[in-house]
Structures are given as structure tokens and as C-alpha cells.
Amino acid sequence: MIDNCSFYQKSRQKLMALLTDNSAVIVPSGEEQIRNRDVEFPFRADSDFIYLTGFEEPDSVLVLLKKEGVESHLFIRPKDLEQETWQGRRLGVEAAPSYLAIDSAFAIDELDEAVLLLLEGVESVYVSFSQSPDFLSTIHSWIHTLKQKVRKGIEAPKQVCDLDVYLHEMRVIKTELEIQFLRKAATISVQGHLAAMKAVQSSQFEFQVQAALESEFVRLGSPRVAFNSIVASGENACILHYTENRSEIRQGDLVLVDAGAEWQGYAGDITTTFPASGKFSDTQAQLYSLVLAAQQAAIEAIKPGVVYDVIHQASARVLTAGLLELGILQGALETLISEEAYKRFFMHGTGHWLGMDVHDVGAYKQNQQWRALKAGMVLTVEPGLYISADHQDVDSKWHNIGIRIEDDILVTESGCEVLTLGLPRTVTEIETWMSQELTKES
């Protein structure tokens, strides 16, 4: 049986308890995508599918039924010696029920025929509205086929409902097992960032730092990165989602690394910013310390009952006051805050939900109001400042400095816990750590 199988069983049971009788849930794992010619991108199953099955093969579809009881049916690729010789092993139909603790399994090529029988008499079909249009079209085609059989006494589903409303809200509050997975992802991610900080002093290019970072992830057992790694030096750090990672690293540059490892389907997400030389310039140190103070203010605000936007407002206030003190902004503090003057230099939110997806699912507002935090939620806190040469009205001494500091935070019953501890964070800590690592090398 698959590791932690009871978690996936409980997830299915909890989901179906939320839905009406005579309903069905349909969740696909996804298909392999062509990278170029006959080469595929590495496959990673849909997060909702993993959450409900723990299974990660492509071309699979889970069907859950709630009629007299709850039934689970899985459609997967059958065993095929020739395909497995070329492409790798498959679980197969025969082994799936006991291995995954589901009621029955079928070959995926039986899906179109079998699903028509399963959906007979079902009133509501739940499917993720964030699924691809092609899959949603397939759902509608099945219902249309059943409607053509009404003269034979067959009752077709009457409505298609958005599964996200239920399943994605379930995923916002993490179980103890999920928190274990997130802790492990965070721990591996921390070690990767330390490897990057160590490697920068002997690296000429961004991609060499990336290689050290991701090599450490793999060495510690992570099967993949949680998202495309960002290693941005100098002016590249002012590009929020810079992923080329090909530039030469200059001696006076700051290097911004935004990267995370994945563990058991759960993501780590850390951003570190550090000097390539091991020593901050005065201007770099001033801006870095300001961003760190903003992050600390945001983290201190996190506890159950606090409204989500309070976190962002806490960091925005510190950043605005600091930019005013440094002369980068001019005016009255409260006016600058209300006008969001900081957005020229801090144009993104302070964080996001974290879980199976790095930008995890779940609403940030409920009934048009920012939601209150609850124990079991996991989020990032990542304020930043980005002052490019395009900011012509700002003293050039601040130009081409991009800084972001990000940690992963668990909301606890009494406050919060930083999952990504272990990184040097202050200017002094970073300089001391990098100096010590350089001494070890020499």
C-alpha cells in the first residue's frame, strides 16, 4: 500500500461528506506534454489528484461517487511490457485497488464507456473549473451523451458544479501530516540556499549558483524543484520572475535567489539576498535591513484571528517609513501609505498560501472581506524592494538594487512558527557566515 494511504482516504471521505447525495467528483491527473519533437516535459500530476490519491502517473482519472455510500474508481494506464521497457514501470489496473486503497480500477481507455454508467442517476457533477477547457469539454460531452438516452429511462446529471469551492478550501488548512511534509520541504530548501550562498564566492555565472542550489535539493532527496529557480544578480534582481540565470555575476552585485524544493508533493519557497563578494555596500545594507525589518513586522503580526491583509499592511508601513527616511520617497508618511507610494518599489503582495502548489489554492477573501487566519494555514512572508535604473528620479546610488527576503510561516494556535529557520538573515549574520565559509575553503 502507498505510504500515508490513510491520509488520501480521509481526504476523499472528508470531501465527499461536504457534497450532496447523488453526486460525482471527477479529477484527472493530467497528461504528459511535449517539450520538443518526441521529448516530454517531466511529468508532475495535478495537485488535487495527488491530494486525493497519492498517485502520480499521467493519463489517470479519479471518479468519486456519493449515492448510497461513497465509491472510489480510478482509471489508469494498464500494464504494458513494451511501453514499460521504454518509458518506465506502471502500477497497473490489478495492483491499484489494494495499493491505493480504492474500490476499483479500470484501464484508462475504458473511461468514456465506463463513466457513462457511473454517472447514470447522478444529479451533480463536481469538477475543478480551473481545469483545462479540453477536460471541461469532455465532461459536458459525457453529460450530453447521457441526455440523449432519456427515452430509455436514463437520468443524466442536472448540473456541473465547481469542485474548487470545496476541495481548495480543504487544502487551505493543513493536517499534521501535511505540516510534516512542508517542514521537510522547508528544511531541504534551507540547505539549498546555504549551498547557493557558499557557491557564489567561487561562481562566475548565475547558473553555477543555481547548479549548487538544485544539486543540494537532489542530494537531500527532493525529486524536483517546487518552481523554476530564480538566481538574479545585480539589475536582474529588479525583474520579479527572472529565470534566465545566465548572466555573469559582478563582484559588487547582490544576488537574489528565490527557490524551493518539493517533498511528497509539497513546496518550499525561500528567497535570500546576499552580496556576491560577501560584503554589503552601505546602500545595499541600508535597503536590505529595511526589507528585513518589514518582514519581521509582518511575521510578528501573524496569529489566529488576524485578517490576512494586516500582514501586508504591516510590511508596507515599515517599507514606506524607511524609504521616507532614506529620501527615496518624499511627503507625509500617512499620505504616502494611503496612496500606496511604495508600490513603485514594492509592487507585489507580502505573501501567498503555500502547500502542494507554491502559490497554493484557497480564497484570500470571503464575502468580499479579507479572511482571518486560522491555525494550520501556511503562508509565505516576502516583502521586497526593487529600484532599477528606470527610476530616474531616485538617486543613482540606489539603482539596480533588488532585494527580497522570504520565509515559510505556519499559523499555530497561539501565533506562528517560521518553518524555514537556519539561514543567516541580518547583514552581520550574512557577512559573518560567508566570511567563515570562505575561510573554510582557503
Cα distance between residue 194 and residue 436, in whole Å: 13
- The grid coordinates listed for 440 are 573554510
Burial 131-150 (b: 16+ CB within 10 A, else e): beeebeebbeebbeebeeee
75 in Cβ contact with 106 (< 8 Å) = yes
CB of 91 within 8 A of CB of 46? no
Helix (H, G, I), strand (E, B) or coil at 429: helix
Calpha distance 213→206 (Å, rounded): 11
Cell output for 97: 485497488
Number of H helices and E strands in the chain, helices first, is: 13, 20
Distances (CA, A) of 56 to 25, 51, 90, 330: 18, 10, 10, 53
Grid cell for residue 362: 484557497
Instruction: Determine how many CB atoms are found less than 10 A away from the CB of residue 7.
Output: 18
Let me know: does 190 contact 270? Beta carbons within 8 Å. yes
Catalytic residues: 38, 241, 258, 269, 348, 352, 359, 382, 386, 404, 406
Please name the residue that has the C-alpha cell 544578480: 233
Q: Which helix (H) or strand (E) holds 391?
A: none
Q: Where are the beta strands (DSSP E) in 174-250?
A: 230-233
Cα–Cα distance for residue pair 138/84, rounded to 1 Å: 28
CA gap 151, 374 in Å, rounded: 51
d(CA 174, CA 354): 10
Cell numbers of 293, please? 525589518
Closest alpha carbon to 75 in 53, 52, 107: 107
Residue of 424, 384, 378, 402 lying closest to 193 (CA atoms): 424
Q: Are strands 270-275 and 266-267 parallel, antiparallel or unpaired?
A: unpaired
Rounded Cα distance, 312 and 348, in Å: 10
Distance of alpha carbon 260 from alpha carbon 267, whole angstroms? 7
